[in-house]
């Protein structure tokens, strides 16, 4: 399993977006992660449709949208039309989660569901048939620079077991304070890591140097898993 590293574009300098995207792609970014915040579901505002349009004109790798909004349903069609590969909604937000995820899929976009640190995995059991990616939040959403919530490690392990038990092909993503140490712990169970200030946007390293370190940690985690299973 080759993990994917997905830089959060909330952390880039939009004044030099074309340079940032080119450098991130050259460094090995597999997908760009675009946070949309409404100031209600989370106590912050972030990117919107015009920002995504700008990204779409520059990016040669796919990009997803993470809707951290109270009522995502009215926006699904609009964001699907912007060329997103995955649209994430929070399990805590829609009134009818199964319907919302089905609506995303009906527009030819992969359906992602995100769960907050305080949300049980049990909310996923009845929607796994319409989920393509489950994203575990390892910080409380809304702000960059928060510490990693340690219980997320066990949550990821339990999620992997749940997917196997349900014979689900859904991928696992994680978002929040993803450092090399976190990748080392979870590189054998997580398919997609969303990268922010803890692992990628670090002043002392270039984007390529940072992503190379993360890839090395993922490889070590997977090799260790293989040795245990032999």
What distance in Å separates the CA atoms of residue 137 and residue 173, rounded to the nearest whole number? Answer: 9
Closest CA to 149 of 111, 125, 115: 115
Among this protein's residues, is 35 annotated catalytic?
yes
Q: 111-114 long-range contacts, Cβ below 8 Å, gap at least 24?
A: 111/86, 111/87, 112/64, 112/66, 112/86, 112/87, 112/88, 112/173, 113/88, 113/89, 114/66, 114/68, 114/88, 114/89, 114/90, 114/141, 114/175
- Sheet containing 110-115: which strands, arranged edge to edge? 4-7, 192-195, 171-175, 133-137, 110-115, 86-90, 63-68, 32-37
The catalytic position among 38, 51, 175, 189 is 175
Q: Point out which residues pair with 192 in neighbouring strands.
A: 4, 173
The dihedral sign for the CA sequence 96, 98, 104, 106: negative
The values of phi and psi at residue 172, to 5°, are -110, 130
The values of phi and psi at residue 6, to 5°, are -125, 95
The catalytic position among 35, 51, 64, 189 is 35
Among this protein's residues, is 175 annotated catalytic?
yes
Tokens encoding 3: 């993990």
CA angle 157, 161, 162 (to 5 degrees): 115
Q: Catalytic positions, please?
A: 35, 175
């Amino acid at each position: 399993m080759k993990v994917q590293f997905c830089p959060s574009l909330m952390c880039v300098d939009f004044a030099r977006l074309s340079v940032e995207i080119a450098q991130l792609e050259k460094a090995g970014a597999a997908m760009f992660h675009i946070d949309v915040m409404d100031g209600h579901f989370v106590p912050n505002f972030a990117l919107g449709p015009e920002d995504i349009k700008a990204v779409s004109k520059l990016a040669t790798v796919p990009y997803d949208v993470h809707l951290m909004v109270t009522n995502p349903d009215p926006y699904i069609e609009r964001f699907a039309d912007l060329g997103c590969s995955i649209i994430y909604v929070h399990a805590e937000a829609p009134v009818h989660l199964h319907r919302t995820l089905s609506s995303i899929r009906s527009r030819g976009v992969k359906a992602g569901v995100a769960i907050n640190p305080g949300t049980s995995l049990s909310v996923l059991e009845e929607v796994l048939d319409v989920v393509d990616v489950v994203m575990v939040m390892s910080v409380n959403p809304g702000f960059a620079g928060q510490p990693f919530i340690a219980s997320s490690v066990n949550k990821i392990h339990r999620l992997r077991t749940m997917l196997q038990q349900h014979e689900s092909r859904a991928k696992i993503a994680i978002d929040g304070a993803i450092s090399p140490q976190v990748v080392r712990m979870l590189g054998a169970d997580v398919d997609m890591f969303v990268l922010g200030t803890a692992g990628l946007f670090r002043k002392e390293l270039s984007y390529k140097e940072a992503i190379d370190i993360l890839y090395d940690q993922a490889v070590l985690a997977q090799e260790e898993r293989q040795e245990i299973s032999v």
